[in-house]
Amino acid sequence: MDKYKLFTFHSTHHAMIMEKVLKENGYGVKLIPIPRNLSASCGLAARVSLDEFETANELAKSSGVAVAAVYDF
């Protein structure tokens, strides 16, 4: 099974901004329902590959995306 990172957010708005920012910069991202054992906040998580995590994290910070937490899967 592939390993990946999940970004969680406090609002759906930030999840959608994250998706937009990453796609505009050519990175693979997929919004998925957040596993309930992680959070019940906004309901969406952004899934990114381990290879793209560092850049995705930097893009989130520089774009003002409010990331609640990051999880390893």
Mean pLDDT, residues 30-57: 88
Mean pLDDT, residues 37-47: 80
State the pTM of this model. Answer: 0.88
Domain 4-72 has CATH 1.10.510.10: no
One-letter identity of residue 37: N
Reduced to 3 states, what is the DSSP secondary structure of residue 68? strand
Report whether pLDDT(39) > 80: no
Q: Where are the domains of the chain?
A: 4-72
Burial zone of 45 (CB within 10 Å; 0-12 exposed, 13-18 middle, 19+ buried) = buried
Q: Each residue of 17-36: pLDDT tens digit?
A: 999 999 999 998 999 998 87
Q: Each residue of 52-65: pLDDT tens digit?
A: 999 999 999 999 99
Mean pLDDT, residues 29-45: 83
